[in-house]
Homo-oligomer: A and B are copies of this chain.
Amino acid sequence: MAAGIGVTAGDYRYRSDSNGRLICQYGLDVAAGLNLANDAFLRACRGLPVDQVPVWFMRQAGRSLPEYHKVRGKGSMLDTIARPELATEITLQPVRRYGVDAAILYSDIVVPTHAIGFGVDIVPGVGPVVEQPFRGARDLTRLRPLDPEADTPYVLETVRNLAAELDVPLIAFAGAPFTMASYLVEGGPSRTHALTKRLMHSEPELWSALLDRLADLAIASIASQLDAGASAFQLFDSWAGALAPDEYRRFVLPASQRIFAELGSRGDGAPGIHFGVGTSELLELLAKAGADVVGVDWRVHLDDARERLGPDIAVQGNLDPAAVLAPWSVVAERAIDVLNRNSGQPGHVFNLGHGVLPETDPETLERVVELVHGYKAAP
């Protein structure tokens, strides 16, 4: 199976999943007879050579696709996520359209918190909104452990559907403790994260307890997605860039480190991606948390990021999602610049520096995929 895509057996290890099926280290489910036409994404995450630079887009499923609006219907996004057939279809749409090298589950980082009854919804045009924000120690009890089979069966059903249908790897994901804490403490999106930082600085023990519970939620959620058939995961610490490096190291790193350690100890070798925006000063710490791949936004040129991260960490990124709105000649120039800055080194997953903007023309992304796949680094 692997022979046709130019990999050697030495690249792979196998394990049994919870149902006794043999799972390849890189998520190729051998027993189920899946034939991943494209494992370039998983190879790149591991820093292995690839024939073509793999590419996917954060938020590739959703708002920017007309076929999404056609099937999505009205109501809260959480209702759509809770309908496995619909969520499966929405996850597949960009894979079909773009020919990307990975699928990412159509879901949201607030799903586990919502599922355990913390009282959070996603309001169109606003984002996550929490009815009763986290205010003190008594709110800790509202963050009970996640039982994925009971609390988010629809997520697992969607993942199982996808594992059966996809011929590219599926990326599981969860919100990282800091970013989740910010939503729960602020009660919604925040420009300053002022209440969150106040809690962090004023009540470090409560903060640490909060982050521990959020880490547990992330671990349980991602582990269940991997068990159900996902082959890699991304931890979204989207707002970590609001912190100074010493704050991140002291108040956030321990919880995020535990997530990567516990998921890594599963032994299935699913690579972990660690992502945030505005993280110029945090790249080394995002790697130190235990990531195999560090997501880089467009503010740091990829060669600079590479230099800071060293040869053992793969990078993901980093075309500016706003630059994608420009005419094609500009988009092409910017995409090629990203590729050139990596100089053909292994360990690069092409992506945007943040999620696809709703006003993006899908045809542009189609052409980006074509460009990335056709790219050959200068010798």
Q: Which residues of A contact B (CB under 8 A)?
A: 192-194, 197-198, 201-202, 241-246, 278, 280-281, 298-301, 304, 320-323, 325-327, 330, 337, 357, 359
Partner pick for A322 among B198, B241, B321, B322, CB 8 A cutoff: B198
- Whether A299 contacts B244 by the Cβ 8 Å rule is yes
Query: A299 touches which one: B241, B298, B359 (CB < 8 A)?
Result: B241
Residue contact A322 to B246, C-beta cutoff 8 Å: no
On whether the beta carbons of A300 and B281 are closer than 8 Å, the reply is yes
Inter-chain contact B299/A197, CB cutoff 8 Å:
no
| Cβ-closest chain B residue relative to A341 | B246
| A197 lies within 8 A of B323 (CB) | yes
Q: How far is the CA of A40 from the CA of B43 in the complex (A)?
A: 58
CB-based contact B281/A299 at 8 Å: yes
Contact of A244 among B201, B281, B298, B321 (CB under 8 A): B298
Name the residue in A193, A202, A244, A298 with the highest tally of chain B Cβ atoms < 10 Å from its Cβ.
A244
Q: How far is the CB of A197 from chain B (nearest CB, A)?
A: 4
A321 proximity list for chain B (CB < 8 A) = 192, 194
Given contacts A320-B244, A326-B197, contact A278 B301 (CB under 8 A): no
**Ranked 10 nearest A-B pairs via Cβ:** A201-B326, A280-B280, A197-B322, A201-B330, A194-B322, A198-B325, A244-B298, A278-B278, A280-B281, A192-B322
Chain B residue with the shortest CB-CB distance to A193: B322
Given contacts A244-B320, A320-B244, A330-B201, contact A194 B325 (CB under 8 A): yes
In whole angstroms, what is the CA distance A244 to B243 when docked?
20
Known contacts A194-B322, A197-B322; A299 and B280 CB within 8 A of each other: yes
Known: A194-B359, A325-B197, A357-B194. A202 touches B330 (CB 8 A): yes
Shortest Cβ distance from A246 into chain B, in angstroms?
7
Complex: A243 Cα to B300 Cα, angstroms:
9
**Residue from A245, A278, A300, A322 having most chain B Cβ neighbours under 10 A:** A322
Which of B244, B320, B323, B357 lies in contact with A301, CB distance below 8 A?
B244
Known contacts A192-B322, A201-B330, A280-B281; is A301 also within 8 Å of B246 by CB? yes
Question: Closest residue to A325 on the B side, CB-wise?
Answer: B198
Collect the chain B residues with CB atoms within 8 Å of residue A337's CB. Answer: 246
A244-B301, A299-B244, A357-B192 known; A202+B281 contact, CB < 8 A? no
Instruction: Across the interface, name the chain B residue whose C-beta is closest to A300.
Output: B281
Set of chain B residues within 8 Å of A202, measured between Cβ atoms: 326-327, 330
In the assembled complex, how far is the CB of residue A325 from the closest CB belonging to chain B, in whole angstroms? Answer: 5
Choose from B242, B243, B320, B327 the contact partner of A197 (Cβ within 8 Å). Answer: B320
Interface centre among A326, A337, A359 (most CB of B within 10 A): A326
Q: Cβ of A298: which chain B residues have Cβ within 8 Å of it?
A: 244
Q: Which residue of B lies closest to A304 (CB)?
A: B281
Q: Whole-angstrom distance between the alpha carbons of A299 and B283 in the complex? A: 12
Return the chain B residue nearest A241 by Cβ.
B299
A168 to B245, alpha carbons, bound, how many Å?
Answer: 34
CB-CB under 8 A from A300, the residues of chain B are 244, 281
- In the assembled complex, the Cα of A181 lies from the Cα of B373 at a distance in Å of 36
Least CB distance from A254 to B in Å reads 19
For A301, the chain B residues whose CB sits under 8 A away are: 244-246, 281
Provide the residues of chain B in CB contact with A244, threshold 8 Å: 298-301, 320
User: In the complex, given contacts A201-B327, A280-B280, what are 9 additional A-B residue pairs having Cβ atoms less than 8 angstroms apart?
Assistant: A192-B357, A197-B322, A201-B326, A201-B330, A241-B278, A245-B301, A246-B337, A280-B299, A281-B304
Closest to A337 in B: B246
